[in-house]
Amino acid sequence: MDVLAPDFPGFGASPAPSTVMGAADYATTIEVLLDEFTRPPLIVGHSFGGRVAVCLAARHPGRVGALVLTGVPLVRLEAASKPRMSFRIMRSLNRVGVVSDARMEDIRRSSGSSDYRAASGMMRDIFVKVVNESYEAELAQLEAPTRLVWGSEDQEVPVQVAERALEILAASGVDATLEVVTGSGHMLPTQEPETLRRVVDSLMKT
């Protein structure tokens, strides 16, 4: 098997899971795919997929050949903040029936990230869970060569996140580098596919 592109539960054509899952839980759902490779594979992870890739590689250090990560919220640069007071009040009123579900849904869709606004039901709860996760411990457990490829204009996951992740990897003795792509934003895989391909090719030749 040369290439696998897993369809996570709740993404693509796969149905949403029945319970709230974090990145480590998603890693558990796909770890069986490692058996499909005759040698440790190179894993490319963008954004949410990169969260899962790091958890998978930390859990199975000898079974992952290399990592390429882009736009992944690997570490929190500041403590998680509570929702605005106005949102918390409306949520409490919704729970006791004063504010309708339809009105509460409108409020939720006007708040949070684009992923959160686009999600519903179980997937929204999953996004709430993972947005509060941080992966310092998993980064410190990695052994595979790791390439961080970041857009200089990434507003969702700024370059400072990658710089902090690189510090953790370097302190653990991992072969890790950071390449910042000038002018690219969060969607680097579609904006700069040739850059990503070059990085992957260089790792495949080592």
Note whether 69 and 147 are within 8 A (CB). yes
**Could you tell me how many residues make up the chain?**
206
Domain boundaries, the chain: 23-76+132-204, 85-121
The class (CATH top level) of 23-76+132-204 is alpha beta
- pTM of this prediction exceeds 0.75: yes
Helix (H) or strand (E) holding 193: helix 193-204
Query: Is 90 exceeded by the pLDDT of residue 191?
Result: yes
Identify the weakest region by mean pLDDT among 50-59, 99-108, 127-136, 144-153.
Answer: 99-108
DSSP state of 82: P
Residue 115, pLDDT score: 59
Distances (CA, A) of 103 to 87, 112, 116, 124: 12, 16, 17, 17
Task: Pick the range with the lowest mean pLDDT from 28-32, 90-94, 153-157, 199-203.
Answer: 90-94
What's the confidence (pLDDT) of residue 128? 80
8 A C-beta contact, residue 1 and residue 37 = yes
64 torsion bin: left (phi>0), alpha (psi -120 to 50), beta (else): beta
pLDDT digits 0-9 by tens, 4-44: 888 899 988 889 899 999 999 999 999 999 998 999 999 99
Whether the pLDDT of residue 106 is over 50: the answer is yes
Least confidently predicted of 12-16, 37-41, 54-58, 79-83: 79-83
Task: Say if CB 29 and CB 36 are below 8 A apart.
Answer: no
Confidence of residue 167 (pLDDT cuts 50, 70, 90): very high
Secondary structure class of 180 (helix, strand, coil): strand
According to DSSP, the residues that pair with 42 across neighbouring strands are 66
pLDDT of residue 116: 56
Q: Which amino acid is at 86?
A: S
